[in-house]
A and B are shown apart, each in its own frame.
Chain A
Amino acid sequence: MKTLIIAEHDGQNLKGATLSAVTAATKLGGAVDVLLAGASVAGIATQAAAVSGVDRVLTVEDAALEHTLAEFVAPVAQQLAGDYTHVILGASTFGKDIAPRVAALCGVNQISEVIEVVDADTFKRPIYAGNAIATVKSNDSLKVMTVRGTAFAAADTGGSAAIEAASATVPAAKVRFVGAEVSESDRPELESAGIVVSGGRGVGSKEDFAKVFELADKLGAAVGASRAAVDSGFVPNDMQVGQTGKMVAPKLYIAVGISGAIQHLAGMKDSATIVAINKDEEAPIFNIADYGLVGDLHDILPELVSKV
């Protein structure tokens, strides 16, 4: 058993999804190597080497790898994958973009959003917006998979892995990075925050969403949203929680003006404590909320902000 983790980073820091991937790999047992592909990765390699459970950090540096586009990263991973039984990525947009491309290049299938490692070939994963859990067995010689961050805690630091340059060629590809609009925020990261306050269509407008942010800041929370709130332009796309957005499982999730569609529940129903604030006492969100408060969010949010 030998696992290769394809690390996600932004050129500066290793991302949390990779720490969850390390935890999933340690459940398999065997050696754990981390592939760090980028333009210049010395600093991040040091961070990866300090992650507990990692045996080796393999670096591949090339200017073409700067924006970690799948067309460049996947072939690099494929060249190294021959030595491994498993390739694991976090189920972030980075992992989802790259893992299937690696799998297809290796001629194997890919297993998405694993939430439990049963044994080296068998895994549990949610299907149908989390309304069913499938146990699947892969008969491929190499298992390529993504793992859900809410199911595998981030690995600790305290390791001291060896850092080695790996040799792989980066092929040419007919794609160019044009630009990025990165959402800057001092708030905690949505996927790893202890508290998440999410607003839905009921919040009403972009201006009124300030009330959601205020409560979040008072609680030191991250801010999420329903699809309807994102589609309405209240907040950017990277705040969408749900089946087709981000998966969160904080100790406290506060849903404000969110009805509770199955697609939204898929992304937050594993939270430890759920609070729903909604003016409609019949809203489905109350069926899964530990504490429900029926009323107008425009009155409730300011009162909460002043009292917590």
Chain B
Amino acid sequence: MKALVAVKRVIDYNVKVRVKADNTDVDLANTKMSINPFCEIAVEEAVRLKEAGVVSEIVVVSIGDKSCQEQMRYAMALGADRGIQVEAEGKVNSLDVARILAKVNESENADILLLGKQAIDSDNNQTGQMLAALLDVPQATFASEVKIADGKAQVTREVDGGLVTVEMDLPALVTTDLRLNEPRFAALPKIMQAKRKPLEVKTVADLGVELTNSIELLSVETPAERSGGIKVDSVDALIDKLRNEAQVI
């Protein structure tokens, strides 16, 4: 059984982004970049499925410029077997990412596709659902538990009201939520080994995908900053402020 995992290079989750002075975009110069945390969870889940003998091969795919190979190598250090980078400059919108991934999957024919639920830069939460639609396969978004047996995936999903469990025939697509697993640390020998794993580079043109560019980014602003207030020294003082100043209780 083959697993295909899509990983995105994003700003490290510990870094607070700054907006450029000219408001055209955010400033990512010299910013620490990492694998999107939800993609890391997706890779870890694939590796666990492989360790459990369910999955036999893990292919990791990333769309971006050459720098995203760093995150692909990291995914391989965690246990992915090989990588496909689809070279693309600039911002590729979610539908185009999904179309590229669908095209890659035409030759890969994965049984299980694992994506993060959301990229923590754009906070879009849409690529997996779009890919599932394009491939006409079932989707289990926001997964907190994945069990695969007998050609079926049983997935528990974190939803607003609690948890929902669905069963899907394979091939199927899963997007990961925070509680699916806790990714392992990549050990140094694994990081060294990962450098020798196969990493194929394709271009969007190779795949015959024409980008839509249907979303234009007009401007980016810093939101209104909230300034800190005051410290009160007792519960009584707090209650007094809430009753008489803020008038919220």
Contacts of A170 in B (CB 8 A): none
Judge if A289 is at the interface, Cβ distance under 8 Å: yes
Most-contacted residue by chain B among A128, A180, A191, A262 (CB, 10 A) = A128
Kindly supply a per-residue 1/0 record for chain B positions 7-37, scoring 1 wherever the CB is within 8 Å of any chain A CB and 0 otherwise: 0000101001101000000100000000000
Nearest-neighbour CB distance to chain B for A298, whole angstroms, equals 13
B161 touches A182 (CB 8 A): yes
State the CA gap A262–B17 with chains docked (Å).
10
State the CA gap A223–B248 with chains docked (Å).
17
State the CA gap A130–B222 with chains docked (Å).
9
Known contacts A136-B215, A291-B232, A308-B239: A104-B139 contact under CB 8 Å? no
Q: How many residues of B contact A (CB 8 A)?
A: 82
- Within B106-125, the residues touching A (CB, 8 Å) are 117-118, 120-125
State the CA gap A98–B95 with chains docked (Å).
14
Known contacts A237-B144, A246-B160, A263-B13: A175-B216 contact under CB 8 Å? no
Q: How many residues of A contact B (CB 8 A)?
A: 88
Contacts of A134 in B (CB 8 A): 217, 219-220
Q: Contact check: which of A131, A139, A237 meets B223 at CB < 8 Å? A: A131
Judge if A216 is at the interface, Cβ distance under 8 Å: no
**Which label, helix, strand, loop or mixed, suits the secondary structure of the A interface?**
mixed
B161 touches A103 (CB 8 A): no
B161 touches A290 (CB 8 A): no
Contacts of A230 in B (CB 8 A): 179
State the CA gap A126–B124 with chains docked (Å).
10
Q: Contact check: which of A105, A138, A237, A286 meets B215 at CB < 8 Å? A: A138
Known contacts A101-B129, A174-B168, A238-B160: A111-B215 contact under CB 8 Å? yes
A287 touches B228 (CB 8 A): yes
State the CA gap A128–B17 with chains docked (Å).
7
B125 touches A304 (CB 8 A): no
Contacts of A69 in B (CB 8 A): 166
State the CA gap A93–B158 with chains docked (Å).
8
* 3 A-B pairs closest in CB distance: A100-B126, A100-B129, A290-B229
Q: Can you give 17 A-B contacts (C-beta < 8 A)?
A: A96-B129, A97-B139, A104-B95, A109-B94, A129-B120, A133-B220, A134-B217, A136-B215, A175-B138, A175-B139, A237-B163, A237-B179, A244-B38, A244-B118, A244-B177, A252-B246, A274-B226
Given A126-B123, A273-B248, 9 further pairs, Cβ under 8 A:
A99-B129, A101-B132, A104-B98, A133-B222, A137-B216, A179-B164, A182-B162, A281-B231, A308-B239
